Amino acid sequence: MAAELTAQQYIQHHLTNLTLGLHPEHGLSFAHNAEEAAEMGFWALHVDSLLWSFGLGYLAYRFMLGVAQKATAGVPNPAQNFFEAIVDFVNENVRGSFTAKNDLVAPLAMTVFVWVFLMNLMDLVPVDLIPHAFAQLMGLFGADPHHVYMRVVPTTDPNITFGMSIGVFLLVLYYSFKVKGVGGFAAELTMQPFGKFGMPANLVLEGISLFSKPLSLSLRLFGNMYAGEMIFILIALMYGHNLMLDISGGVLQLAWAIFHILIITLQAFIFMVLTIVYLDMAHQHH
């Protein structure tokens, strides 16, 4: 695909989502380019991000359910042993970071870690493999391959990372009100750290601290995964020119993929830990 497009067009193509929405001129349709996607406005859907995120979540659920149904008290099989290690890892982090008692936190942390890791893991798939195959498939139905988009790493889409972080933020608000009460939570936002005479300053500081939680949670994951995707795209531009660049691109791609394994795991771990910490803060009185 890189050989058919200029470098700028190739990068733009890989950074454009498969977008479905109401276009001012074409009505309900898929966007043919980034400009049409922008014209569809806020309510347009990134179909590829939604399909890959929910699809990976469902596959993880079905696989773990199958392992749980076949679990035995004796010698575990490799799959059971692997997921028991993940459960122990998550439980250790919950015990170390969450001081209250809430049976939701550990399953939520497990879900967050596995789901984010799987979405991040898609960044190790060669950047042209799935988009090119999807474009060729749509070409059989008369679509122009250059206007068919498919981004396979959901966490490079801020809509996905913000959606997950807002879900965590709503839980933080829910438990803040449930544990502290309306008055207690309001007092925490208005009476600290400068006392009752510093209410306006307290509200500004605590409000910024509160609303920075979903921002930091989402943008950290999005920024790191977007940067990783961009590096893979730039490396892919090296192919198809001469043998030396092909070899150099292959070496760089392998090296970055190996290093990226650490990044995708670390980002899933950070998202999980921050979720636990934010929920712990919601359970604690100031």
State yes or no: is 224 an active-site residue: yes
Question: Cα(16)–Cα(37) distance, rounded to whole angstroms?
Answer: 9
Question: Cα(75)–Cα(91) distance, rounded to whole angstroms?
Answer: 21
Q: What are phi and psi of 240, to 5 degrees?
A: 90, 10
Question: Cα(107)–Cα(210) distance, rounded to whole angstroms?
Answer: 24
Token output for 22: 């109401």
Query: Which value, in Å, is the radius of gyration of the alpha carbons in the chain?
Result: 23
Give the active site residue among 29, 33, 102, 220: 220
Q: Are 90 and 272 in contact (CB under 8 A)?
A: yes
Strand, coil or helix: 150: coil
State yes or no: is 220 an active-site residue: yes
Question: Cα(155)–Cα(222) distance, rounded to whole angstroms?
Answer: 6
Token output for 261: 């394994």
- The terminus-to-terminus CA distance of the chain in angstroms comes to 56
Give the active site residue among 176, 216, 218, 248: 216
Question: Cα(9)–Cα(15) distance, rounded to whole angstroms?
Answer: 10
Q: Are 37 and 16 in contact (CB under 8 A)?
A: yes
Token output for 168: 């965590």
Question: Cα(138)–Cα(46) distance, rounded to whole angstroms?
Answer: 17
State yes or no: is 216 an active-site residue: yes
Question: Cα(256)–Cα(264) distance, rounded to whole angstroms?
Answer: 12
Give the active site residue among 17, 49, 53, 224: 224
Strands, E assignment, the chain: 19-23, 27-30, 45-46
Catalytically active residues, by annotation: 216, 220, 224
